[in-house]
Structure 1
Amino acid sequence: MSKLIYLISTIVFITGNALAQTGVLTGYVRDQNTGEALTGATIVIAGTNLGAVADLNGYYEITDIPGKTYVITASFVGYKQLSKYSVVIRSAGNPMLNFYLSQTSETLEDVVIKANPFDKLPETPLSIQSLSAEEIATYPGGNNDIAKVVQSLPGVSGSVGGFRNDVIIRGGAPNENVYYLDGVEIPNINHFSTQGSAGGPVGLLNVSFIEGVTLSTSAFNAKYDNPLSGVLQFDQRIGNPREFRGNLRISASETALTLEGPLFKAGKEMSKTTYLVSARRSYLQFLFKVIGLPILPDYWDYQYKIHHKIDDYNEVSFLGIGAIDDFSINVPDDIDAEQQATLDQVPVIKQWTTTAGINWKRRFKKGDGYMNTILSTNILDNNFSQFDDNENQTGLYFNNNSRESEIKLRYEQTRFFKDWTVTGGFTLQRVGYSNNTLNLVDNIIYQSDIDFTKYGFFIQTTRGLLNNKMNISLGIRSDANSLTTQSDQLLATLSPRVAVSYAVDRDQRWNLNASLGRYYKIPPYTILGFRDNTGRLVNQSASYIRSDHAVIGVEHLLNESTRITLEGFYKKYNDYPVSSLDGISLANKGGDFEVLGNEPIQSTGKGETYGLELLYQQKYTKHFYGILAYTFFVSEFSGTDNRLLPSLWDSRHLLTFTGGYKLGNNWEVSLRYRFVGKTPFVPVDQEATLQFYPAVILDYAQLGENRLSSFNQADIRIDKKWNFNKLTLDVYLEIQNAFNQSIPEPPNFGLDRDANGAIVEPRSLVEIEDDNASILPIIGLVLNF
């Protein structure tokens, strides 16, 4: 890899005789509510004399910008001034930088009202975080994986051991979140995802597509169905309307190619139709085979977006994303005890997923509102198998061969009535689910095929009071379906919510925020489609899972780019699925390679999580940016005995720091540090495991009695950018686990074997010693052209 980087750098340096140290920045300035062009808006680059004025279409262009990092500000009369931080200018490959400005009620001409640079929405005034594309791309320890980046946000942790991309928010289970890509709901964001949940070891979203990411951990807008802990919104940019562009990303695990440009372009005018496409291929399977690991993760993914502007009031986007995953095994020539246990116990996974959607946005000609109509479909096909003999794939003792599909329609209309903003709409979904399960350990063998309809209605209204010093948002949602037998579903799932924010001072540097809401989630299809051995749908009476949130917090803006927040939160759960097989809440599952919910359940579980969260955040200022967050929380769920016990996510303490310093000549050094307190784990039931080996049986009777050591890890990243004529080269060196800390893991057991690898009779289990401390260097490069 180092030779390849050196060769590419040398070629680019030699062929780029005229080194281009300047770049071009383009974009649009529009009204945040209506999307109308703000003709005459001013865009300036801080610390320079460079700027531009938006044209009749709201479009601007700034040329001859020296290649480095800037703060860029847009302003327009009657609107709040908005600044974008950490904007990197390259000689090629600069994505459009768009501004959406909000109106202000201030009428004094000599007063400049500045928008809060930290995203806040009336319905979500707190518990919200946003990251730009550049922040994601250069995140230390992220390796261009958005799901890993999200785990560093306040209140968010990963699964035990930190090797998966599960998004665990404030002690909630991994499957309590929903994901939206340009308004299109996507079922998961990871390769090798856990069916019924969402986590997996590798993210499948291409960072080159992303304009920004927003995570809400409470106070969800009523238009979103099924969130219990979080809503992740991924906003994709549109392709360049003037010229062909692209980038090539090469890292230690994969290669990705992204292309974009105009379609049907005539002359020098901007095209009304643009495209953005990518394909990504892993080569971890080749690397793992060379170094002799027992697993071979192989994956492909693709992503696309075609955007068309019909006229000044209508635009439509076609988008899609998909993946092909093959998790197979490899028998090393010289196998040790740990590798042998992994070879015995690891599942064989063949999985593919696809999502496609169309989003039509229409602005009303009077400027009093707009509508969104979104139609999408998605499929997840999962073949999950476990064998007595993985090497020869004989002795099948567990197989889940299933497919779930959805066709979704969401319509929403937003209207502006003086001081009021009202959004209302409905969702309609058709669900199909089929499953062929063989589970010899629990003596479950069945085939299932169901299809049903889901529907919901919502309305959300917001208003500014006291000259917009106070904002209040009220919402309500109701959902139902044609499969489950819960009575009066539309009434039973009524979910009201309210959010209030108040600016204590005139400059709005001190803000008080609070929210209260009730949210519902339909159980996973793996639960609803489960049948017993007689073919009966035993979980058809399952209830919607309920979660009540109460959050209160204070925010203080130290200056234009720095804030401190303190929040207290409480979540209470009811009707949580509890396993009838082992008596525990399914909130404790879904963070491993498994199938979540493929078992009989009871909707009797309860739970609660609560805590405090302190955040310090500085946007890029004086070469530095950073986020420091500490969360203390308690997470408890009950099983069939109705006793609240610490959940598997109850680590109590989360401390994260992510920051960087931009040096001269386009060098950057960044650091990510994570500390997670002692996390509970369920020990292995050695007697049952010996009986059913290689199936590993956990002793859930000991849930809450055992905890791992605390987890901490530091990742360091160094970036260097070169600007050439119509080409840029970014090279980075990332050192994960830089201080060589051991990653805590539950005790692992395998069969006792002699020096030749033969099983010792009579069979017995031995604990596998594992020192998993290691420093992992990663080299990568990005070519923009």
Structure 2
Amino acid sequence: MNYRIITFIARILLYLILPTFAALGQETLHQTVKGTITDLDSNSPIIGANVIVLNSDPILGSNTDINGDFRIEKVPIGRITLVITSIGYEQRVIADIVVGAGKEVVVNAPLQESLVKLEEIVVTDRAHKSEVSNEMVQVSGRTFSVEETNRYAGTFNDPARAVSSFAGIQGNAEGSNHIVVRGNSPNNVQWRMEGIEIPNPNHFAEEGSSGASINILNGKMLANSDFYTGAFTSDYSNVLAGVFDMKMRTGNRDNREYSVGVGILGTDITLEGPFVKGGKSSYLANYRYSTLGLIDNLGIVDFGGVPKYQDLAFKLSFPTKNAGLFTLFGIGGLSSIKDDIEDEETDEIIGKDDFTASMGTINLSHTYFFNSNNSIESFLSLSQNGSGYELKENKTDPNVFEKTFKDELNKFTMTAGTSFLTKINAKNTLKTGINYQHFLFDFEQEFLNNQNVLETWLSDDGDAGMVRTYATWKHRLNDDWTITGGLNYTNFLLNNSQALEPRASVKYQLNETQSISAGFGMHSQLASLPAYHSLVENEAGIRTRPNLDLDLMRAVHYVLGYDRVINENLFFKTEIYYQDLYDVPVENDPTSSYSLINATDGFTDRALVNEGTGVNYGIELTLERYFNRNYYFLITGSLYQSKYTALDGIERDNRFNGNYLTNFLFGKEIYVGGSKNKVLSLNTKVSWSGGRRFTRVDLEASRELGRAVFDEANAFSEQGDDIFKWDLSFSYSWNKKRTRQEINLSIQNATNNKGQVDQYYDDLENKIETSEQLPMFPTIMYTLEF
């Protein structure tokens, strides 16, 4: 990152913002709070629920209508708590709701039906604020809100960076948003949007990976979403490590609202509102363009390697009177970076690289309620994702750059599915579903060998399909015992790989403040599609595709958890887990240590067999104080082991076995001048984790072959430095009538720590280089809502 560019943008933002400070008044500002209250199990609207703003004087509140909707006018800005009650349901308390002058606040909340029918509600809310929205999940789940995504230091408004603060989840020290969940490869994380599996939604992402530099989906588009770390319920499949189950919020159907943001990472605009005033249909859209790309396009600066990207996200909602709810939503992004590679000693240009990536998905879903207890949801999804990279070098002529490496990986996915949800009674809920995915792909990869001949490692196009079906049942024995069980079936039609996977979990409420839970599940996942189609040279010198018959990777998850609500704002949680991985693809060589369990991209040049194993086990601790009295904190810690065994039979540390990680987050809000119209927010995050494992580069063999050769007999025997990282965030927001403005300054790695992460072979310089954690990286962002 060029610091002159950062300074230039910061000055512009300050010149725009500082003159508005003098105009700030002390008037009392208000906003509308509205939303929908639904049944947790059936998702049907609850009529006549009471929604009250706690400690309001005079009392502010509303009742839900026939559609489960409520609306509370003239709520003072600041943070509020809602108390929701309804006869026959358990009370729910939702705290830490931020009310600003720029946008109406939408709160959608499900209620759990009480097993004891009472004439009036007397049950105390026992749920902690981090419980997930999926009614079937009992273990290893955590919800995260838009407010948390924006508030936590170091997130860049990115949900992947936000969840790296949770127990058992480690971020990437080099600056990407790849995450390691309980010692598993980042490639084993799945992304979902509105319950539909989508491709990796990140800019500068390679096919087969699950993260990259910048998330395509702006956090301004998100509603409260969930993240799962193990023992998934049977409606989640083709995943071993973690699931992002993101929800996109619905646009305001009453008023048109707008938001504009300008910052170092991107400039964006958000639009939302009703298609027709007084109607029920609404739209929500966000468009963003790289700020550095804009500056480069204008010719204001001139330097190489400018990351350029743009993205679009939208959601259109069409409720009907008799035909159900139709929703059309999608996200998409384009990204590219070109750069000249210079000799470190002579500054001569010795190479040119060019990387491009694209991702897009558009989805149509339909939900229909037969009655208050039975509904059906169907969807159709079309997606594309791909990446391309080309490297040119002047190996023979200083003035002629010839292609030495190229790959083009493109995939199209068509998915259709339907699910049926029935709430049999207050004790029993059943969910069943089926979906079909069809992949169309075109993969190509070439590499210039040491004889200056282009070798083809990957060259194939074709298609493949996958069928998945499931059933999940939840049974509440009484108010204290809840049991879920289910079955998932997967068939990968390329080679007829199949898996039948039972899942089960149980939760027991010891008393009003404590509960224990346990979960078990069998899970499976495809390798990346390029891995199935790799060309590998056999002993006769003939290139074949030996991996077409690869079976699914599999794992068995065991989880035991304990929760305690210490008081209304303080929550403690611990989980112990054990993951037994088997049928892991490893190189078909009895002397090899290679295993896909360590993969960080989607390609391999090895012949593989499903004879590898692995194990992940550990303990996680969380102590969280929810935002109250203007401050919060979150402390998380994990101790774990992650091992693997390839065909050589030796158990080793896997690449991601850092052994420990811990996070401390703290935030404080200060009302400037005693007015809730002006708020100064201070947030910090301190993380400390064990280093990633790596395999030492064999320098002489690498120079001879012309590409990296590793000491695989001692695979992952080296460990990078322990990673210390301190992130800071300062924001100042101010409200005026019908507008809210905010300026945010974030500093990642404020101490500029430079821990070694890995080592690699530089084939242009013919030497070993080390990679370090991302240095101090400041960003600034200005947002206007109106």
Fold agreement, TM-score > 0.5: yes
Report what 1:184 is aligned to: 196
Q: Is the 8 A contact 1:42 1:51 kept in 2?
A: no
Code of the aligned partner of 1:283: T
Residue 84 (str. 1) matches residue 90 (str. 2): no
Residue 660 (str. 1) matches residue 667 (str. 2): yes
Report what 1:625 is aligned to: 632
Query: For residues 222-249 of structure 1, what are the alpha-carbon distances to aligned partners after superposition, in whole Å with 9 as ceiling and x for unaligned?
Result: 1222110111111111001011111112
Report what 2:361 is aligned to: 355
In 2: Cα distance, 1:236 partner to 1:682 partner: 41
Q: Is the 8 A contact 1:18 1:724 kept in 2?
A: no
Matches within 5 A, 1:222-301: 222-265=234-277, 269=278, 271-285=279-293, 295-301=305-311
In 2: Cα distance, 1:338 partner to 1:622 partner: 59
Q: Is the 8 A contact 2:756 2:771 kept in 1?
A: no
Name the SS for the 2:240 alignment partner.
Answer: coil
Name the SS for the 2:255 alignment partner.
Answer: coil
In 2: Cα distance, 1:697 partner to 1:249 partner: 46
Q: Is the 8 A contact 1:359 1:374 kept in 2?
A: yes
Name the SS for the 1:2 alignment partner.
Answer: helix
Residue 114 (str. 1) matches residue 87 (str. 2): no
Residue 410 (str. 1) matches residue 423 (str. 2): no
Code of the aligned partner of 1:475: G
Select which of 487, 490, 493 maps to 1:482: 493
Residue 151 (str. 1) matches residue 164 (str. 2): yes
Q: Is the 8 A contact 1:307 1:316 kept in 2?
A: yes
Code of the aligned partner of 1:726: R
Matches within 5 A, 1:371-770: 371-389=376-394, 394-418=401-425, 419-441=427-449, 443-465=455-477, 467-484=478-495, 486=497, 489=498, 493-505=499-511, 507=512, 509-532=513-536, 536-579=544-587, 583-590=593-600, 595-597=602-604, 599-665=606-672, 666-693=679-706, 695-747=707-759, 750=762, 765=767
Q: Is the 8 A contact 2:44 2:373 kept in 1?
A: no
Name the SS for the 2:307 alignment partner.
Answer: strand
Q: Is the 8 A contact 2:269 2:288 kept in 1?
A: yes
In 2: Cα distance, 1:540 partner to 1:89 partner: 55
- The alpha-carbon deviation at position 98 of structure 1 amounts to 1.6
- The alpha-carbon deviation at position 681 of structure 1 amounts to 1.5
In 1: Cα distance, 2:587 partner to 2:33 partner: 55
- The alpha-carbon deviation at position 431 of structure 1 amounts to 1.4
Matches within 5 A, 1:119-130: 119-120=131-132, 123-130=136-143
In 1: Cα distance, 2:640 partner to 2:682 partner: 31
The alpha-carbon distance between structure 1 residues 447 and 222, as it changes in their structure 2 partners (threshold 3 A), is: same
Query: For residues 8-49 of structure 1, what are the alpha-carbon distances to aligned partners after superposition, in whole Å with 9 as ceiling and x for unaligned?
Result: 335545777896632222222222233333333222223322
Query: For residues 376-413 of structure 1, what are the alpha-carbon distances to aligned partners after superposition, in whole Å with 9 as ceiling and x for unaligned?
Result: 01111221223334998833232221211111112110
The alpha-carbon distance between structure 1 residues 369 and 667, as it changes in their structure 2 partners (threshold 3 A), is: same
Q: Is the 8 A contact 1:293 1:330 kept in 2?
A: no
> Structure 1 stretches of 5 or more lacking a match?
753-758
In 1: Cα distance, 2:467 partner to 2:526 partner: 11
Select which of 148, 151, 155 maps to 1:135: 148
Code of the aligned partner of 1:41: A
In 1: Cα distance, 2:663 partner to 2:156 partner: 17
The alpha-carbon distance between structure 1 residues 72 and 662, as it changes in their structure 2 partners (threshold 3 A), is: farther
Name the SS for the 1:745 alignment partner.
Answer: strand
Code of the aligned partner of 1:543: D
In 2: Cα distance, 1:368 partner to 1:615 partner: 36
- The alpha-carbon deviation at position 604 of structure 1 amounts to 1.6
In 1: Cα distance, 2:463 partner to 2:771 partner: 46
- The range that moved more, 196-205 or 314-323, is 196-205
In 1: Cα distance, 2:105 partner to 2:744 partner: 20
Select which of 321, 324, 327 maps to 1:317: 327
- The range that moved more, 443-452 or 671-680, is 443-452
Name the SS for the 2:156 alignment partner.
Answer: coil
Code of the aligned partner of 2:545: L
Code of the aligned partner of 2:287: A
Report what 2:777 is aligned to: 776
In 2: Cα distance, 1:459 partner to 1:567 partner: 26
In 2: Cα distance, 1:194 partner to 1:338 partner: 32
The alpha-carbon distance between structure 1 residues 598 and 45, as it changes in their structure 2 partners (threshold 3 A), is: farther
Query: For residues 674-702 of structure 1, what are the alpha-carbon distances to aligned partners after superposition, in whole Å with 9 as ceiling and x for unaligned?
Result: 11113211222211332355x44433333
- The alpha-carbon deviation at position 273 of structure 1 amounts to 1.1
The alpha-carbon distance between structure 1 residues 217 and 110, as it changes in their structure 2 partners (threshold 3 A), is: closer
Code of the aligned partner of 1:323: G
The alpha-carbon distance between structure 1 residues 189 and 400, as it changes in their structure 2 partners (threshold 3 A), is: same
- The alpha-carbon deviation at position 672 of structure 1 amounts to 1.1
In 2: Cα distance, 1:660 partner to 1:119 partner: 21
> RMSD of aligned C-alpha atoms?
2.8
In 1: Cα distance, 2:289 partner to 2:326 partner: 29
**Identical residues among aligned pairs (%):** 20
Q: Is the 8 A contact 1:28 1:54 kept in 2?
A: no
In 2: Cα distance, 1:548 partner to 1:339 partner: 53
Select which of 50, 53, 59 maps to 2:62: 53
In 2: Cα distance, 1:257 partner to 1:597 partner: 40
- The alpha-carbon deviation at position 114 of structure 1 amounts to 1.2
Name the SS for the 1:471 alignment partner.
Answer: strand
- The range that moved more, 569-578 or 25-34, is 25-34
Q: Is the 8 A contact 1:463 1:471 kept in 2?
A: yes
Q: Is the 8 A contact 1:273 1:306 kept in 2?
A: yes
Q: Is the 8 A contact 1:477 1:495 kept in 2?
A: yes
In 1: Cα distance, 2:581 partner to 2:345 partner: 42
In 1: Cα distance, 2:191 partner to 2:632 partner: 27
Q: Is the 8 A contact 1:434 1:529 kept in 2?
A: no
> Structure 2 stretches of 5 or more lacking a match?
1-8, 673-678
Code of the aligned partner of 1:499: S
Code of the aligned partner of 2:696: P
Code of the aligned partner of 1:613: E
Per the normalisation by structure 2, the TM-score is 0.90
In 1: Cα distance, 2:423 partner to 2:46 partner: 18
The alpha-carbon distance between structure 1 residues 725 and 392, as it changes in their structure 2 partners (threshold 3 A), is: farther
Report what 1:304 is aligned to: 314
Q: Is the 8 A contact 2:155 2:161 kept in 1?
A: yes
Q: Is the 8 A contact 2:352 2:393 kept in 1?
A: no
Q: Is the 8 A contact 1:44 1:52 kept in 2?
A: yes
- The alpha-carbon deviation at position 356 of structure 1 amounts to 0.8
Name the SS for the 1:494 alignment partner.
Answer: strand
- The alpha-carbon deviation at position 347 of structure 1 amounts to 5.2
In 2: Cα distance, 1:769 partner to 1:650 partner: 19
In 2: Cα distance, 1:361 partner to 1:78 partner: 25
Q: Is the 8 A contact 2:582 2:613 kept in 1?
A: yes
